[in-house]
Amino acid sequence: MHSAMNPPSRPLVVGHRGSPRRALENTLDSFDAAEAEGADGIELDVRLTSDGEAVVHHDADLVRGDRRVSVASLALLELLETPIRRGELTGKVPTLRDVFFRYGSQLFYLVELKTGPAPRPFLLEFRVAALLTQLHLTRCALVLSFSAESLRRMRDLEPSIATCLLFDGTAYRPEGQLWPDLPAGCRAIAPHVSLLSERLFSDARAAGLPVHVWTVNDPGEAARCAALGAASIISDVPGEMVAALGTSAPLEASAASHTSDGMPAAAPPVVSPQEEDR
């Protein structure tokens, strides 16, 4: 497993939906590619099917046959038999459980909760919290969302799960603040790369908030993030970022839920049936 205990000059490199320029985003092929490129972790998007299964897909809808349908309107079996295409890239939507079983605790997970219809309120948060807890992955995951309410509910369900508020230039930020008000228990921020400044990092350090930056695809920008003290950079080209920043040291196990810099600590390995086939 890669280390969360990096010096300030070495942020974690996280594959944005895997390695989407090499394989269809948010698929096992894309996550495999990010892992092969040396990424410390993967960022992925989670939604619910009509029968309440947590699946990994960014958009609220997809093309099924000759029409667009919402992910939330499809049962899991219908979704699994639906091929996804984007340009020349093809793939299938994986379940969140499949992803966790495939990589166990060998990668960090930045799990983004997407807002949208659900069979019942906060079922998405419940499903994600249950999977992270049951598979002993709470210490190597960070749950992100643009929705403060989703993060608040996640912390209510399982306080051991670290949460992080996503925001871009469209988010409301109180006068004088560089990030939106944080929900209770949220101890990390994830600004868009366009919002970075020395003051943001200085204020975040003073508040004890790790900064996770998206989406960083330029080596020079990655070096700037490292110099400013980013906890992680989320990139469409994780291999290029790893090459630009260098490799991280092996992770040292910790009994604490999270390290002093707000990143997840080591978790017991999850043994999966797929490991023998990988």
For residue range 95-145, what is the model confidence (pLDDT) as tens digits? 999 999 999 999 999 999 999 888 888 999 999 999 999 999 999 999 999
**What is the number of domains present in the chain?**
1
Between CA 89 and CA 208 the distance in angstroms is 41
Which residue is associated with the tokens 């080209």?
237
In a domain, 97, yes or no: yes
By percentage, how much of the chain surpasses pLDDT 70? Answer: 85
Residue 62: DSSP 8-state? E
Section 25-51 average pLDDT:
97
In a domain, 185, yes or no: yes
pLDDT per position as a tens digit, 192-205: 999 999 999 999 99
Dihedral Cα 273, 47, 35, 32, nearest 10 deg: 60
Section 176-188 average pLDDT:
97
Q: What single letter denotes the amino acid at residue 18?
A: G
pLDDT of residue 252 exceeding 80, the answer is no
Question: Do you find a cis peptide bond into 138, omega within 30 degrees of 0?
Answer: no
pLDDT of residue 26 exceeding 80, the answer is yes
pLDDT of residue 261 exceeding 80, the answer is no
In which domain, by residue range, is 41 found? 12-268
Burial 33-57 (b: 16+ CB within 10 A, else e): bbbebbbbbbbbbbbbbbeebbbbb
Section 169-185 average pLDDT:
97
CB 33 within 8 A of CB 100: no
In a domain, 6, yes or no: no
pLDDT of residue 255 exceeding 60, the answer is no
CB 178 within 8 A of CB 39: no
In a domain, 274, yes or no: no
Q: Write down the pTM of the prediction.
A: 0.88
CB 69 within 8 A of CB 61: yes
Minimum mean pLDDT range among 115-119, 206-210, 214-218, 257-261: 257-261
pLDDT per position as a tens digit, 39-70: 999 999 999 999 999 999 999 999 998 899 99
Residue-level pLDDT at 76? 97
In a domain, 275, yes or no: no
In a domain, 1, yes or no: no
Section 75-93 average pLDDT:
94
Between CA 255 and CA 139 the distance in angstroms is 10
Q: Domain with 68 in it: what CATH number?
A: 3.20.20.190
Section 259-268 average pLDDT:
44
CB 193 within 8 A of CB 214: yes
In a domain, 162, yes or no: yes
Which residue is associated with the tokens 């790790």?
210
Mean of the per-residue pLDDT values of the chain: 88
In a domain, 49, yes or no: yes
